[in-house]
Structure 1
Amino acid sequence: MIGLRLLLLASALALVGCNAPQRLSEIGRGPQLSAIENPTARPDWRPVSLPMPAPQEPVRTANSLWRPGARAFFKDQRAAQVGDIVTVLVSIRDEAQLENSSTRSRNNGESMGLPALLGLESSLTRILPNTVNPAELVRANSTGSSTGSGKIDRSETVTLRVAAVVTQVLPNGNLVLSGRQEVRVNNELRELAIQGVIRPQDIASDNTVRHDRMAEARIAYGGRGMISDVQQPRYGQQLLDIILPF
């Protein structure tokens, strides 16, 4: 009876851990879109803290309507404060080819004896078995070898455009961005999340910024649905791959 209860408890924990209740609720409907929410209200949101330069007084030009750093005479249309929206252009072309091989071998041998010890070597048989040879008390040998090889050939191309919201303005004027995008097509939900820090000077006149101008960039592109579930190993197999030493 106790074993059955433990089995039911383990099954319940496994269902909760693998997000099974949500997946069961989506049978026949497909993955549901998330509600639009304030990025700073999420439990995992944390304010960004980076090294900052010493504060400086802004330079004021007498008898001039032109603002330093502005790209328009009347108003700068680029994002500049919390709540503004800026479009991030993601264009990743990543290629990597790595190949490694290694071979290792090792032989060890140790021996120890007492062929002469002030004439007391003949008394060792009183303590040790009669077959003990004082000249060869200890002898040990070990041999080890290892051969390994690995190869990585990876090519990735990601081209996206996503609108992000300014969630924080750092003391030096840099902007912290956070953006999420969800698209559902044929019961397959694609998710895109992006976070990072940009300089206002890197924002183009059309209010866009390239992802390679973003510091501490965090870009995640994935999805969930029937196709994504089939493409990954089951949770039990992933658990065994982590804990099994062989």
Structure 2
Amino acid sequence: MKHVHLVCILLALGACSRAANIGQPPTLTSPRDSEEFIAMTNPPLEIPVDSGRPEAAASLWAGTTSSLISDRRAATRGDILTVTIQIDDRAEISNSSGRSRAADDNVSLSQMAGIPQRLGDKLPEGASFDNLAEASSSSSYKGSGNISRRDKLTLRVAATVIDRLPNGTLQIEGTQEVRVNYELRELTVSGFVRPADIDRNNEIQYDRIAGARISYGGRGQITDVQQPRYGQQIADILLPY
């Protein structure tokens, strides 16, 4: 009985959370609650300009970001770069297999120290050692399969360097949320990149991101309708057919 009450309570809580969204658009996540904001507000300390050399602050060749020769590509924690996602993958797999086998065995015992002749008279009518055993078998198998899949996605998203590893590799993370009416589209990308793979425009292709994690989904009324109900999901897990 306790288990029934627990299930009822869980269902009621789920219904309450859904009821809170009735007539309301999906809420956007605050950008200040992300790892990106933490990385931007806690950058590494910059090398201070030599106070004993005032001319160093006005030099065009200083190593700061305001210098004419400075590298504007993302390199440290808190820097921003653009990730270009252009996925156009297609996979087609087709295979077939077949197997057949046949066997036929015939055993007879016509001579064995005269024993078959002596025992032949004692066998039932129609029985003989000349056809002691005969067996045959056959089997066949045939299978085929076909897989066809295509994924196409073209997106651009700004990502933030949230950490710089000891070997110089940059860990990046980017999020993007777009709300249209009552549907919210979410895009997230994360992974590890080498500074040398970032081009002059401060952009990097998704296929140069190691351990890339790209997610494109959403939440809202349309997504909610496309999802099966909780009861149906539970039934799909429990029912063996």
Q: What TM-score do the two structures reach when normalised by structure 1?
A: 0.63
- State the secondary structure of the residue aligned to 1:204: coil
CA pair 244-85 structure 1, distance change in 2 beyond 3 A: same
Residue 91 (1) aligns with residue 64 (2): no
Query: 1:174-193 counterparts in 2 under 5 A?
Result: 174-193=169-188
Structure 2 distance, partners of 1:35, 1:202, is: 30
Query: 1:113-192 counterparts in 2 under 5 A?
Result: 149-192=144-187
Structure-2 residue corresponding to 1:119:
none
Structure-2 residue corresponding to 1:129:
none
CA pair 195-245 structure 1, distance change in 2 beyond 3 A: same
CA pair 15-150 structure 1, distance change in 2 beyond 3 A: farther
- What runs of 5+ residues in structure 2 fail to find an aligned partner? 39-60, 103-137
CA pair 101-25 structure 1, distance change in 2 beyond 3 A: farther
CA shift digits 1:184-235 (9 cap, x unpaired):
1020110111110001011111111110110000000011111112223222
Structure 1 distance, partners of 2:239, 2:98, is: 25
Structure 1 distance, partners of 2:148, 2:7, is: 40
Structure-2 residue corresponding to 1:12:
9
Structure-1 residue corresponding to 2:206:
211
Structure 1 distance, partners of 2:37, 2:227, is: 31
Structure 1 distance, partners of 2:236, 2:97, is: 24
Structure-1 residue corresponding to 2:106:
none
Segment drifting more, 182-191 vs 224-233: 224-233
Match of 2:234 among 232, 235, 239: 239
| AA at the equivalent of 2:240 | P
Structure-2 residue corresponding to 1:139:
none
Structure-1 residue corresponding to 2:190:
195
CA pair 25-174 structure 1, distance change in 2 beyond 3 A: same
Residue 229 (1) aligns with residue 235 (2): no
CA pair 11-203 structure 1, distance change in 2 beyond 3 A: same
Segment drifting more, 21-30 vs 216-225: 21-30
CA pair 234-171 structure 1, distance change in 2 beyond 3 A: same
Deviation at 1:146, TM superposition (A): 7.9
Report if the CA contact (8 A) 1:26-1:32 is conserved: no
Deviation at 1:100, TM superposition (A): 4.3
Percent of aligned positions with the same letter in both sequences?
49
Question: How many residues align structurally?
Answer: 183
Structure-1 residue corresponding to 2:34:
38
Deviation at 1:82, TM superposition (A): 0.8
CA pair 166-22 structure 1, distance change in 2 beyond 3 A: farther
Deviation at 1:239, TM superposition (A): 2.5
Structure-2 residue corresponding to 1:29:
24
Structure-1 residue corresponding to 2:135:
none
Structure 2 distance, partners of 1:223, 1:100, is: 36
CA pair 20-158 structure 1, distance change in 2 beyond 3 A: farther
Deviation at 1:98, TM superposition (A): 2.3
Higher Cα radius of gyration: 2
- What runs of 5+ residues in structure 1 fail to find an aligned partner? 43-64, 108-142
Query: 1:26-105 counterparts in 2 under 5 A?
Result: 26-36=21-31, 37-39=33-35, 74-101=69-96
Q: What TM-score do the two structures reach when normalised by structure 2?
A: 0.64
